[in-house]
Amino acid sequence: MRLPPPRIALAATSVRNSVLKFTRAVVPPGAAVLEMVQGAWNAQALFTAAKLGISDVLADGPKSAREVAETIGADADGVARLMRHLTTMGLYKSTRSGAFRLTPMGDVLRTGTPGSMRDMVLWVGAPEHRDDWDELPYSVMTGKTGVSRIRGKGLFEYFDDNPELSETFNGAMTSVSSLVDESVLAAYDFSGLGTIADIGGGHGSFLSDIVSSTPGTRGILFDLPSVVAGNVFHQRGLADRCEAVAGSFFESIPAGADCYILRIVIHDWAEEECLTILGNVRRAIKPGGRLLLVELVLPDDPSTPHPGTLTDLEMLVSVGGRERTRAGYAELFAKAGFELARVVPTATPMSVVEGRPV
Active site residues: 267
Alpha carbons 17 and 207: distance in angstroms, whole number = 33
Residue 174: CA count within 13 A, CB half-sphere:
17
- Please classify residue 77 by burial: count the beta carbons closer than 10 Å to its beta carbon, then call 0-12 exposed, 13-18 middle and 19+ buried: exposed
CA 19 vs. chain centroid, Å, equals 25
Alpha carbons 15 and 358: distance in angstroms, whole number = 38
CA 294 vs. chain centroid, Å, equals 10
Alpha carbons 85 and 53: distance in angstroms, whole number = 16
Q: Which residues pair with 353 in a beta bridge?
A: 293, 343
Burial 283-317 (b: 16+ CB within 10 A, else e): ebbeeebbbbbbbbbbeeeeeeebebeebbbbbbb
Tell me the residue type at 314: E
Question: How many C-beta neighbours within 10 Å does residue 5 have?
Answer: 12
